């Protein structure tokens, strides 16, 4: 459990880091070399590509941060957690959830992120 939390915290810390060298450090231990990151706006393959993707996030949304909104739920090499995006004014701009998977070395090898709440059930006929 401690290793899982440590790995996911390192991944989260990388999203907060504006400096590339400081972002690279936690991803070395937390993210698989060929890991895949997907969300509604992106499909990124590889650690170096994720480092660049996070840099682009900071360029597009300066002063915006992403924080955990839950602990990490995990089993059988899979993980799930909730997060919030906080704008420069301190207000929540987006909430979401990430589902992921660990590789055999305990690094994250896949994250699939979703923004907002799931859609409501369709009305019954």
CB 109 within 8 Å of CB 103 = yes
What pLDDT shows up at residue 124?
82
Residue 1: pLDDT band (50, 70, 90) is low
Is residue 32 predicted with pLDDT exceeding 60?
yes
Q: What is the pLDDT of residues 39-79, one digit of tens each?
A: 999 999 999 999 999 999 999 999 999 999 999 999 999 99
Instruction: Report the pLDDT averaged over residues 84-110.
Output: 97
Between CA 98 and CA 104, with CA 100 as vertex, the angle to 5 degrees is 160
- Are 47 and 32 in contact by the 8 Å Cβ rule? The answer is yes
3-state secondary structure of 118: coil
Ordered DSSP codes for 55-93: HHHHHHSTT-EEEESS--EEETTEEEEEEEEE-TTS-EE
Q: What is the mean pLDDT of residues 80-84?
A: 98
For residue 21, pLDDT over 70 is answered with: yes
* CB neighbourhood size of 12 (10 A): 18
- Fold classification of 2-115 is Nuclear Transport Factor 2; Chain: A, (3.10.450)
- The domain locations on the chain are 2-115
Find tokens 């979401």 and name the residue: 96
Say yes or no to pLDDT of 9 above 90. yes
Closest CA to 94 of 72, 66, 120: 66
């Amino acid at each position: 459990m401690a290793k899982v939390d440590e790995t996911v915290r390192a991944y989260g810390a990388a999203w907060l880091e504006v400096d590339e060298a400081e972002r690279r450090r936690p991803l070395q231990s937390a993210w698989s070399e060929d890991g895949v990151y997907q969300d509604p706006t992106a499909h990124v393959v590889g650690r170096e590509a994720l480092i660049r993707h996070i840099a682009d996030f900071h360029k597009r949304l300066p002063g915006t941060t992403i924080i955990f909104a839950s602990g990490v739920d995990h089993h059988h090499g899979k993980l799930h957690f909730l997060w919030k995006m906080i704008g420069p004014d301190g207000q929540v701009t987006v909430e979401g959830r990430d589902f992921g998977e660990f590789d055999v070395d305990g690094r994250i090898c896949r994250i699939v992120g979703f923004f907002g709440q799931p859609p409501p059930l369709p009305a019954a006929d």
